[in-house]
Amino acid sequence: MKSLLERPAPTAAAALTLRRGAARVLLDNWTGTSTVPSRTLYPHQWSWDSAFIAIGLRHLSARRAQQELESLLAGQWDDGRVPHIVFNRALPHDAYFPSPDFWRSSTAGRQAGAPAAPETSGIVQPPVHALAAWLVHRADPVESRRRGFLARVLPRLAAWHDYLLAHRDLGGGGLAAVIHPWEPGMDNSPCWDQGLHRVEPAAPDAFQRADLDHGHPADRPTDLDYGRYVSLATDYRDAGYDDGATRFAFAMEDPGFNALLIASERALAAMARETGADATAHTRRADTLTRHLVTRLWDEKAGIFRARDVLTGALVDERSVSGLIPLLVPHLPGHIVGRLVDTLTGPHFSAPATSLVPSYDLHGHAFDAHRYWRGPAWFNTAWLIHRGLLTHGRLQQATDLRQGFLTDAGATGFAEYVDPASGDPRGARHFSWTAALTLDLLCADPKEPTP
């Protein structure tokens, strides 16, 4: 097989240099079966990271991109959930916290169908996987058909979505709820502060953080918030990861999470058509979810989607990048698309030093340019919004966002995220999803967003 670094590439020298740098990050972070987000801060396999990584890997090796997703799905539980971490058994338990001996998936999760091996976490992350699988298939349909890729992953991904809608419709409004701030992927967002205040934190001596060994304390969640994260995860584990038996102190309907579920339902419909199966159920479910998303989470006055606190029934009065991610949804009402684009390009999300989108309202009371998801601008959310802009024909805004993304990815050494006020790199460097999505923006067909 040709070296991944020698595959056909854009001819412009700058683009070629950027592509080689991105490919090198993915090669360096490859473990032999999957790709770690970061060799230091995140040394295991993360769920939505692997989906984004596969989207970029498809431009280097469709087979490796398939393997990335199938490696993750090897950790899927019998109830359909795809856990947010699949642990590398070769690493010591203190390489990351919470570790396998905290989650105890193979024992505490046995009744919920956790596999005997590998060990995993018990919570989930956003369902971007079906979208990734469809894009991976399209990158090399001949290889995909030869290996039976879609036939293998389609039932697993359908079961994943079934789990979310059967077990996580905690608000009764037809949307999937998240039950831990780590589940929507935007761990430390101010959107979760209100819900977290109800949670009694674990005692400081009950856990030992590993993230501060590789991340600056000013960038990371506070010890108090971390104690609340540990408390929520402990309660869920001690209830056997049973969504019906757990008394949730935190439950939110997140717009970004549900928008990705809609996009992935449409991807499942495309996969079903490709394999000769009936796509009707997936199309109908995507349409129904879209209606529920608008009915339950759209804030017309603010021009953005908001999270809903399931326990109080109220919308959370915070503007987050998660509320812009529904641009991904193909059949949003036109006036909502217009309002979202106005919000995206308006003062709340137009950063002074980057074209990337801040994770939180620049004028919000809790804005922090450095701290995890409380202000910094991330590459994966920019990729999702870029795709949404293309979906709705907003080509100039999409072009501007793409160029800013590529410029910042190269200038920051493929950083995890950037300071929106200065443009400085923050978090981990040589970050896998930044590199992977750089490859995608360099190489993908700009007409791709419609499944």
Catalytic residue among 68, 183, 187, 318: 187
70 among known catalytic residues: no
User: Which amino acid, residue 84?
Assistant: H
CA distances (Å), origin 29, targets 24, 25, 170: 9, 6, 37
Name, in order, each residue with C-beta under 8 angstroms of 291's C-beta and a sequence gap of 6 or more.
Answer: none
The 3-state secondary structure of 160-194 reads HHHHHHHHCCCCCCCCCEECCCCCCCCCCCHHHHH
Distance of CA 194 to the CA centre of its chain: 22
Q: What are phi and psi of 192, to 5 degrees?
A: -95, -5
* Token pair belonging to 242: 């049973």
* Token pair belonging to 210: 């590993």
* Token pair belonging to 444: 């993908």
Distance, in Å, from the CA atom of 247 to the CA atom of 67, rounded to the nearest integer, reads 37
Distance, in Å, from the CA atom of 20 to the CA atom of 111, rounded to the nearest integer, reads 46
SS3 (DSSP) at 360: strand
The torsion angle over the Cα atoms of residues 339, 340, 343 and 346, rounded to 10 degrees, is: -90
SS3 (DSSP) at 425: strand
Quote helix, strand, coil % in the chain, to nearest 5.
50, 5, 45
305 and 323 Cβ atoms separated by less than 8 Å: yes
Catalytic residue among 70, 416, 419, 440: 416
Distance, in Å, from the CA atom of 274 to the CA atom of 449, rounded to the nearest integer, reads 17
140 among known catalytic residues: no
Closest by alpha carbon to 55, among 431, 446, 433? 433
Residues labelled as active-site residues: 187, 416
